[in-house]
Structures are given as C-alpha cells and as structure tokens.
Amino acid sequence: MKNEDFAQLLASIKEAGQIRSGKTQPSRIKTIQSPDVYQIRTRLGLSQSEFALLIGVSPRTVQNWEQKRREPEGAAKALLIVADHNPQLVIEALHK
C-alpha cells in the first residue's frame, strides 16, 4: 500500500472515531424509510397472522410495525422493501 493511500485510510478512521464520539457531524446521512407494513400486507390480501407466518415473525411483531410502536430492522426491513416493490416475488420465493 502506498503511503498516500495509507494516510487517507488513517484519516478516514480518525474521522469515523470523531463522528462516533459526537465530536464531529457526518458530512451526509443516509436513511432508509421503513415500508408501510399494513399497505404491503393488505395488497397481498393476508391477515396479520398469515403475513407473519409468511415472513417468519410473530403476529405481535406485525401488529407493532403496523401501529408504529416498532420499526422493522435488518433483514426484516430488507424483505419488506422487496415485498413493497414486488409482493408476488416474495410469495413465490418463500413458498417454493
């Protein structure tokens, strides 16, 4: 690795540490909006229990998402985004 590249990498690591500790604000923030779980579920024509079974979560989790008490995270959020864009694909993929 060239010295210049290493210096840039080191500066980036230091900047990340300052952002994490709150000493510096990030230059940009990327947020992914949570999909509307109720809209996805009703478009699929499923009850909360059926939808929960389809995506592998509890019915209570679906209720919490729909009532905005909780927000989907991680893989569940990614799956819901895919389901929002192509619901039939999710049904076909999960019920093969």
Residues 15 and 45 in one domain: no
**Which amino acid belongs to residue 89?**
L
What is the CATH number for 53? 1.10.260.40
Domain check: are 41 and 87 in the same one?
yes
Question: Which pLDDT tens digit goes with each residue over 14-55?
Answer: 888 888 898 888 888 887 788 999 999 999 899 999 999 999
Residue 46 and residue 83 share a domain: yes
Express each pLDDT in 71-87 by its tens digit: 999 999 999 999 999 98
pLDDT of the residue at 62 = 97
pTM of the model: 0.66
| Residue span of the structural domain in which 5 resides | 1-29
- On whether both 64 and 88 belong to a single domain, the answer is yes
**Same domain, yes or no: 43 and 87:** yes
Whether 23 and 42 share a structural domain:
no
36: left (phi over 0), alpha (psi -120 to 50) or beta: beta
